[in-house]
Chains A and B, each alone.
Chain A
Amino acid sequence: MSEWLNHPAIQSGLAPFLISLLVAELLLRLRLSGLAIVAGFAVTVYLASNFAVSPLTATRKIVWLGLTSGLVGVVLGYFSSSLWRPVLAVLAGAAAIWVGLPVLRHQPLEVAMQWAAGCALFTAWLVFWMDTLQDDSARAGSAGVALGLGSGGCALLGGSALLGQFGLAVGAAAGAYLLIQMLTNNRLPCGRSYTLPLSLICALISCLAVLTTQLPWYALAPLAAIPLAAKIPVSERLQLWVQSLLLAITTLACAAGALYLTWRVAGAPLY
């Protein structure tokens, strides 16, 4: 059993997928199915890493920001305001700088400033645009699958299996969330409890992978386009599974672009 749980495919694929299926279904009545993302991510953290705090490495910061952002998303669901979107984007940008700080402090000031600004902008962008999808679970679900698989796959190719596993776990969790909708032809509750942890975790993973692995910075551009690609017009008259499939294909094309750009630089993964 323990040998089985040590397999990376189980840790970052099957386990988060199954747990997210369960959580999305169990929390449906509470309209908190979006927490499936945090649940899937937490399972992978438990299996592949740990919940340690000290020393507070950049990776551990991502873990704790990801977990707490789910709760923040739930709380914000009770206080609807148009102000939250830009506020969350700015806070996410600041979080990106905080995460990258342990790495950036070893860089020349000019370089550190460039990376900090770039990561903050990228993270704020993703959080802002994913937030615009919070009322459309099919679009958010499709974008989530692409963002998780894209950021995780890029980190994996870039040279960090652990960051890769974290991203792929988010992709698997979003896949479970989307699959329930496609199979039942019913929309699940979405909200910020889904979009905030998903966008924050994926953005931070990608930023840290750029800073610490061979992931080229320009591979972030196709990832940044994913929430926009999820906004393409799709006829509401189509069945939900068809809509979801079309949106998944569109957004996954962006993820594939990011993977290709990373593969050109880093080559095939070591593992």
Chain B
Amino acid sequence: MLTRYSVAVLLLAGLPIIAQAADSYTIDPPHTYAHFSVSHLGFSTMQGRFDKSSGKITLDRAAKKGTVDIAIDASSISTGWPKRDQHLSGPDFFNAPEYPTITYKSSAVKFNGDTPSSVEGNLTLLGVTKPVTLNITAFKCGTNPMNQKELCGADASAQIKRSDFGMKYALPNVGDDIKLVFEVEAYKD
């Protein structure tokens, strides 16, 4: 009797630990985009985005841990002008035929309270991997009122130099500094 009681107590004590284990999320591609902006000849700042992405996120808010693993289809670049998109996805810039995927893999997620504030990780572009920190500017988890599924969303941004990744064509006329902005939504698995 005592043994059964002890087992029951141990199981109950363990429940919060199970509940606090990292939650796994799958990125929702129609609500996840990587945007970029770059100076065009110093006259204006051109905006563009990649239309296709996929990936996984894990989040343990209690333990203040998480992972981010995103893959972006380099050929899905979209700037509002197909001719320019073809050029940007070609060998002069993103070289999608040779490097079809851009990846970001986190190494650490920093928290402010129980909310993620930044993600440290590695961006792989054109076969070159460099550390990039994403600063999270907005974050929310909850239930999507449309489909009643559990959902987390975030906005994040980072600044990179394209020359660091070997993308040197048309420097300095087309700017070296690239601002990356990610809008991410992911459903709980």
Chain A residues within CB distance 8 Å of chain B:
6, 48-50, 52, 55, 57-59, 102-103, 106, 159-163, 208, 211-214, 267, 270
Q: Could you say which of B84, B86, B90, B95 contacts A57, with CB atoms under 8 Å apart?
A: B95
Tell whether, in the assembled complex, residue B97 and residue A55 are in contact, meaning their CB atoms are under 8 Å apart.
Answer: no
Tell whether, in the assembled complex, residue B169 and residue A162 are in contact, meaning their CB atoms are under 8 Å apart.
Answer: yes
CA distance A133 to B59 in the complex (A): 67
When A and B form their complex, what is the total count of cross-chain residue pairs whose Cβ atoms lie within 8 Å? 57
Shortest distance in angstroms between B89's beta carbon and chain A's nearest beta carbon?
A: 9
A160: chain B residues at CB < 8 Å are: 87, 90-92
Tell whether, in the assembled complex, residue A52 and residue B166 are in contact, meaning their CB atoms are under 8 Å apart.
Answer: yes
CA distance A161 to B86 in the complex (A): 12
CA distance A161 to B98 in the complex (A): 17
Tell whether, in the assembled complex, residue B97 and residue A212 are in contact, meaning their CB atoms are under 8 Å apart.
Answer: yes
Shortest distance in angstroms between B76's beta carbon and chain A's nearest beta carbon?
A: 15
Q: Could you say which of B84, B86, B127 contacts A55, with CB atoms under 8 Å apart?
A: B127
Tell whether, in the assembled complex, residue A213 and residue B83 are in contact, meaning their CB atoms are under 8 Å apart.
Answer: no
Tell whether, in the assembled complex, residue A162 and residue B98 are in contact, meaning their CB atoms are under 8 Å apart.
Answer: no
Give 5 A-B contacts (CB < 8 Å), ordered by A residue. A58-B98, A162-B169, A163-B91, A270-B83, A270-B87
Q: How large is the interface on B (under 10, 10 to 19, 20 to 34, 35 or more residues)?
A: 20 to 34
Write the chain B residue with the least CB distance to A105.
Answer: B98
- The verdict on B168 contacting chain A, using a C-beta distance below 8 Å, is yes
Tell whether, in the assembled complex, residue B83 and residue A57 are in contact, meaning their CB atoms are under 8 Å apart.
Answer: no
A159: chain B residues at CB < 8 Å are: 86-87, 90
A59: chain B residues at CB < 8 Å are: 91
Q: Given A267-B83, A270-B84, are A55 and B126 neighbors across the interface (CB < 8 Å)?
A: yes
Indicate with 1 or 0, residue by residue over B145-188, a CB within 8 angstroms of chain A CB atoms: 00000000000000000000010111111000000000000000
B87: chain A residues at CB < 8 Å are: 159-161, 270
Q: Given A103-B98, A161-B169, A161-B170, are A208 and B83 neighbors across the interface (CB < 8 Å)?
A: no
B169: chain A residues at CB < 8 Å are: 48-49, 161-162
CA distance A6 to B171 in the complex (A): 8
Q: Which of B88-135 contact A (CB under 8 A)?
A: 90-92, 95, 97-98, 100, 126-128
Tell whether, in the assembled complex, residue A161 and residue B92 are in contact, meaning their CB atoms are under 8 Å apart.
Answer: yes
CA distance A8 to B83 in the complex (A): 19
Tell whether, in the assembled complex, residue A208 and residue B166 are in contact, meaning their CB atoms are under 8 Å apart.
Answer: no
Write the chain B residue with the least CB distance to A52.
Answer: B166
Shortest distance in angstroms between A213's beta carbon and chain B's nearest beta carbon?
A: 5
Tell whether, in the assembled complex, residue B168 and residue A50 are in contact, meaning their CB atoms are under 8 Å apart.
Answer: yes
A50: chain B residues at CB < 8 Å are: 168
Tell whether, in the assembled complex, residue B173 and residue A57 are in contact, meaning their CB atoms are under 8 Å apart.
Answer: no
Q: Is chain A's binding surface mostly helix, strand, loop or mixed? A: loop
Apart from A57-B91, A160-B87, A270-B87: 5 A-B pairs, beta carbons within 8 A: A6-B172, A102-B98, A162-B92, A163-B91, A213-B86
A270: chain B residues at CB < 8 Å are: 83-84, 87
Write the chain B residue with the least CB distance to A271.
Answer: B87
Shortest distance in angstroms between A104's beta carbon and chain B's nearest beta carbon?
A: 9
Write the chain B residue with the least CB distance to A2.
Answer: B172
Shortest distance in angstroms between B104's beta carbon and chain A's nearest beta carbon?
A: 18
B173: chain A residues at CB < 8 Å are: 6
CA distance A208 to B92 in the complex (A): 12
Max chain B Cβ within 10 angstroms of own Cβ: one of A6, A161, A214: A161
Write the chain A residue with the least CB distance to B96.
Answer: A212
Max chain B Cβ within 10 angstroms of own Cβ: one of A6, A50, A162, A214: A162
Tell whether, in the assembled complex, residue A213 and residue B90 are in contact, meaning their CB atoms are under 8 Å apart.
Answer: yes
Tell whether, in the assembled complex, residue A162 and residue B91 are in contact, meaning their CB atoms are under 8 Å apart.
Answer: yes
Shortest distance in angstroms between B123's beta carbon and chain A's nearest beta carbon?
A: 15
Tell whether, in the assembled complex, residue B95 and residue A55 are in contact, meaning their CB atoms are under 8 Å apart.
Answer: no
Shortest distance in angstroms between A34's beta carbon and chain B's nearest beta carbon?
A: 28
CA distance A214 to B128 in the complex (A): 26
Max chain A Cβ within 10 angstroms of own Cβ: one of B83, B84, B100, B172: B83
CA distance A103 to B128 in the complex (A): 17
CA distance A102 to B169 in the complex (A): 19
Q: Given A6-B172, A162-B169, are A55 and B91 neighbors across the interface (CB < 8 Å)?
A: no
